[in-house]
Amino acid sequence: MKENKYDEAAFFDQYGKMARSIGGLQSAGEWPEFEKLLPDLAGKDVLDLGCGYGWHCRYAVEHGARSAVGTDISEKMLAEARSKTADSRITYIQTAIEEIDFSPESFDLILSSLAFHYVEFFEPVCARLYKLLRPGGNLVFSVEHPIFTAQGKQDWVYDDQGRKLHWPVDNYFLDGRRETLFLGHTVIKYHRTLTGYLDPLIHAGFSLQKIIEPKPSTEALPRDESLHEELRRPMMLLIAAHKAPLAQST
Amino acid sequence: MKENKYDEAAFFDQYGKMARSIGGLQSAGEWPEFEKLLPDLAGKDVLDLGCGYGWHCRYAVEHGARSAVGTDISEKMLAEARSKTADSRITYIQTAIEEIDFSPESFDLILSSLAFHYVEFFEPVCARLYKLLRPGGNLVFSVEHPIFTAQGKQDWVYDDQGRKLHWPVDNYFLDGRRETLFLGHTVIKYHRTLTGYLDPLIHAGFSLQKIIEPKPSTEALPRDESLHEELRRPMMLLIAAHKAPLAQST
């Protein structure tokens, strides 16, 4: 049974107070790096897995996508997404990532922002995404970084004065369930290693294009003291992968 | 000035006592995974950067390579390599990795085991290696994992009873010099992020084939209790990259 944490009212309300929930893509620190990984969207059919409020779907059609389908397990998320969307090119569907069901080669781009760490078994998902992409298509996604998810608590180690000493890594090679504290709630996430993200992609047939660990920009750092701690450990991993185009006939 | 730690007698002696120095490839925990990344060696010209005792050079010619060149900054290492080698297909050259000098497209395979974390500037090295490879050639290397090198001390955090609590990560995005403790000596290594290893490869023209974090095999774990701690944090990163073959004329 997949957890549907975002349909719990108290958690959903907390999520709504996050900067990225209010400000959208421009308030997500990793967005400039994520945006760079996206291909030209003109005329593309786009699938967004774990679409949340629908920011990426709207971005896609605003940048020329022919269609965008957003999926999310949470009814509340999709209600919010629909209330923010007035564009017939966008469709929202309630489903878990593991259970998406579309015809093969339906999409030119599949993207996913911070959702795959809720997925327990990544290999079948990769195989399915590969089939859903047209030849030449792209997969671009972000997840919490394996350094961030390994130990489970997702918190720093502090000294007696409450200062952050370092980020703890433990149980790195023990893939699987972690009970994390997120927005004051216990949330189930799934840790996997870097290899655990990349090998299933390669095995499914993808070629790896880019692997980025986003960090605060040198412009942002002087403006916001709190960003300096983001230099101490990576929080996210961005991956761009590619399905080869059909070989040209000669 | 590149550090030439291995030519310091006391350090060189300590290195000689490591299991991998005595037993060679079969005593290096990561070797089974490294070996899987190697292409068919038959007829290949091979370059091994930071060749140490020459184990990989000898392995290459024993598996059909036409030639193998091993380079190392340490005269003592190369003396040991030469004393262990009786094969005219193998040449050893004393040079720092940053200063290797061969004709373009001289090699089919470039490999390097646990040496690139001694290199301060990786981007120019990647560009040079790309030029040295023939089209269709392969680059296979291991380095200490960014999780292992980030904080600098390369040691666990312990509790009052000396038990290992977790592995500390800090200053992850601050690339550069680290004074590490290795074999009882202070050794200068250079930390870079995962992105810091992969982006220069992509920028140089390589495509990424495999990225592996080796871990103890399920067969080895029951035999050796000490291996269990190797599941707690990754120590090494193995990367296989590829230079595209020339496009076939039609």
Res. B249: pLDDT tops 80: no
Give Cα B131 distance to the centre of its chain.
19
Of A202, A211, A231, the CB nearest to B198: A211
pLDDT of residue A247: 80
pLDDT of residue B1: 57
**A110 — alpha (psi -120 to 50), left (phi > 0) or beta?**
beta
Q: Under a CB-based contact definition with an 8 Å cutoff, are residues A238 and A37 in contact?
A: yes
Percentage of chain B beyond pLDDT 70 is 98
Range 200-219 of B in CB contact (< 8 A) with A? 202, 207-213, 215
Of B174, B213, B231, the CB nearest to A231: B174
Q: Tell me the C-alpha distance between A147 and B48, whole Å.
A: 31
Is residue A97 packed enough to be buried (19+ CB in 10 Å), middle (13-18) or exposed (0-12)? buried
What are φ and ψ of residue B151, in 5° steps?
A: -75, -35
> Hey, are the CB atoms on B169 and A233 less than 8 Å from each other?
yes
User: B84: which 2 tokens?
Assistant: 């262990």
DSSP for B21-58, written as a single string: HHHGGGG-TTHHHHHHHPPP-TT-EEEEET-TTSHHHH
- The amino acid at residue A41 is L
User: Per residue in A213-235, pLDDT tens?
Assistant: 999 888 878 888 788 899 999 99
Q: Return the DSSP state at B111.
A: E
Res. A183: pLDDT tops 90: no
pLDDT of residue A219: 80
**Set of chain A residues whose Cβ sits within 8 Å of the Cβ of B230:** 173
Q: For chain B, give the mean pLDDT.
A: 94
User: A16: which 2 tokens?
Assistant: 């709504």
Q: For chain A, give the mean pLDDT.
A: 94
Q: Tell me the C-alpha distance between B189 and A128, whole Å.
A: 42
Q: Under a CB-based contact definition with an 8 Å cutoff, are residues A168 and A151 in contact?
A: yes
Res. A1: pLDDT tops 70: no
| Pairing relationship of beta strands B107-113 and B207-212 according to DSSP bridges | unpaired
Q: What is the ipTM of this complex?
A: 0.93
Q: What's the pLDDT band for A171 if we cut at 50, 70, 90?
A: very high
Domains delineated in chain B: 5-242 (3.40.50.150)
**Set of chain A residues whose Cβ sits within 8 Å of the Cβ of B157:** 157, 166, 168
Q: Tell me the C-alpha distance between A143 and A13, whole Å.
A: 22
Scored b (16 or more CB within 10 A) or e, A228-245 reads eebebbbbbbbbbbbbee
What average pLDDT does the segment A107-121 reach?
97
Between residues A33 and A250, which one has the greater pLDDT?
A: A33
What average pLDDT does the segment A83-87 reach?
95
Instruction: Supply the angle between the helices B122-132 and B194-204 in degrees, to the nearest 10.
Output: 40
Res. A237: pLDDT tops 80: yes
Q: How far is A78 from chain B (nearest CA, A)?
A: 34
